[in-house]
Structure 1
């Protein structure tokens, strides 16, 4: 395949999936500003390996996995930095917002409290409406892991948000 054909193929892939990858990054990190950067960084990484990516059975799942891994690395780095700053300044944790905060902020905080894999499973399954198989492909785990982590994540969200809010979030009666 000529370089021009590969470029056109990648450009088409970029146009079709950039918004979804940015949305995934935003849901995983909670940072709107960083979401586009993470999606762009993931697409640059995909471009460097495009000859292998386009031959993959599921290039979109591969791209989602790259975004998830980059989001996890960002979250870990930010967590380490926050711990260092907290230790340095010995500040007390910030006060939790009042209960009259918008529902979106409540969901964001509840998602932030989930461990990464549970959060990723819940976001991919319910926010992006991916199948269990596609979620497993994106995260590089088994379908059984997706099922259990989604179930446990949803249960934890139910505990944090209440049953009614969780039903509205996931679209399923709990």
Structure 2
């Protein structure tokens, strides 16, 4: 099953991962980590489509976990070292930044959870409940990340989202009919 998923679905998985990270190499690493996580155990899948769904979920989980880990490591370096860590991204990363499309650049400015929520909801077309389940968040948290993420994307891109794409919370107003 692993060979079939890797052979038939790998390009699509990498394309999805590229919505989360800045380079193809990072996307390929993310997919590889997800494949190892999913197929490294005793998981059994009935179809390649079912296996692919697990790999997609693992990609998002690995992305959020990796970003969290990186932020904790950076904060520790800043605390212990007493200086702000300077990251030289190198000429390849700077060139990728210059060549990245406006949407990719706008997505890169979102927080990891906002980005994961926006991609799962609007690219993967998962429901709010499904997005919450994949990321291990409450539906309310997903709605908040989606709202903030879509607003940030609109501001960065100079666009407006259709009214129905922004989560609307139900009214808490109590009516008393006499």
TM-score, length-scaled by structure 1: 0.62
Is contact 2:118–2:150 with CA below 8 Å preserved after alignment? Answer: yes
1:72 maps to 64
2:110 maps to 114
Deviation at 1:13, TM superposition (A): 3.3
Is contact 1:38–1:67 with CA below 8 Å preserved after alignment? Answer: yes
Q: Deviation digits for residues 63-91 of structure 1, max 9, x if unmatched?
A: 22321232234334555459959976876
Q: Which runs of 5+ in 1 are unaligned?
A: 1-8
Q: Which runs of 5+ in 2 are unaligned?
A: 167-178
Q: Secondary structure at the match of 1:163?
A: coil
- C-alpha spacing 1:129/1:59, structure 2 compared with 1 (3 Å): same
1:150 is aligned to 2:146: yes
1: distance between equivalents of 2:137 and 2:84? 39
Name which one, 1 or 2, has greater alpha-carbon Rg: 2
TM-score, length-scaled by structure 2: 0.61
1: distance between equivalents of 2:133 and 2:18? 20
Aligned-residue Cα RMSD (Å) equals 3.9
- C-alpha spacing 1:48/1:81, structure 2 compared with 1 (3 Å): same
Q: Secondary structure at the match of 2:56?
A: helix
1:33 maps to 25
Higher fraction of helix: 1
1:135 is aligned to 2:131: yes
Deviation at 1:113, TM superposition (A): 2.3
